[in-house]
Amino acid sequence: MTTQSELGSIRTEILIAFIFEILALVSWIIIIIVFGILGLFSAAELASYLGWHSIYVTSILVAAIGYIVVFLILLIPTILVIIRTNKMRIAANKGDIKTLKELNSIGWAIVALIFSGIIPGIMLLVAAGPINSLEEGGLSDEIIDKMMKLKTMLDSGLITKEEFDQQKAKLTASSAASTGGLEEQLNKLKTLLDSGVISQSEYEEQRKAILKKL
């Protein structure tokens, strides 16, 4: 059953992973800067004694550049993990279960474990199971709010009935599981019906989807 507490725990785990991934990225950048500065400083020191054409100076410069290149390459998977985790964080906050499940991956959790540290990897691995167990169906609070705004715009003459129906169809097609309680979700759905935002058949369809989570 999809509940507020389950999504709340998932959001917390993803947020912790995201924060520590950012810290890992900052650490990588600091290491790159330190190695680069130390390498260039050592080369400059040797050059003052041996001259810039010395093989030792050249070797240190090559090594410093090599270190920088290697660490820059290692930054790529870290950045990709951060981008993916941020998308998961946004999906979880919106209650977009479909997108959250699509982004959920053990493979990416392992990549995070390797390149971003133990904590981000463990948090994503811990969240993987609960994410897979989440059930889709019903309209999210965000979708309901958007539908109510559309109805207000229709009543005010800002949009036509055709535009209203088109946008409502898009919202219904992209609907995700609610982050609230089932009773609250049913009450909001009934409000949509009473205000004329959705038809009786649409109400029954969404109501069945919600009740499947009981």
Taking only the tens place, the pLDDT of each residue in 120-140 is: 999 999 999 888 877 555 556
Q: pLDDT at residue 86 above 90? A: yes
pLDDT band at 184 (very low <50, low <70, confident <90, very high): low
Tokens, residue 119: 């904590």
Tell me, yes or no, whether 117 and 40 share the same domain: yes
Q: Which domain holds residue 160?
A: 141-211
Task: Give me the mean pLDDT over the 53-61 stretch.
Answer: 66
Tell me, yes or no, whether 24 and 69 share the same domain: yes
The segment with the largest mean pLDDT, out of 20-24, 39-43, 89-93, is 20-24
Tell me, yes or no, whether 112 and 148 share the same domain: no
pTM of the complete model beyond 0.85: no
Burial bucket for residue 143 (CB in 10 Å: 0-12, 13-18, 19+): buried
Tokens, residue 69: 């290149």
Q: Which of 95, 112, 133 is the last residue of a domain?
A: 133
Tell me, yes or no, whether 148 and 118 share the same domain: no
Q: Which of 133, 160, 189 is the last residue of a domain?
A: 133
Tell me, yes or no, whether 122 and 154 share the same domain: no
Tell me, yes or no, whether 158 and 120 share the same domain: no
Tell me, yes or no, whether 124 and 152 share the same domain: no
DSSP 35-97: HHHHHHHHHHHHHHHH-TT-HHHHHHHHHHHHHHHHHHHHHHHHHHHHHHHHHHHHHHHHT-H
Total domains in the chain come to 2
Q: pLDDT at residue 2 above 60? A: no
Tell me, yes or no, whether 190 and 128 share the same domain: no
The segment with the largest mean pLDDT, out of 73-82, 88-97, 146-155, is 73-82
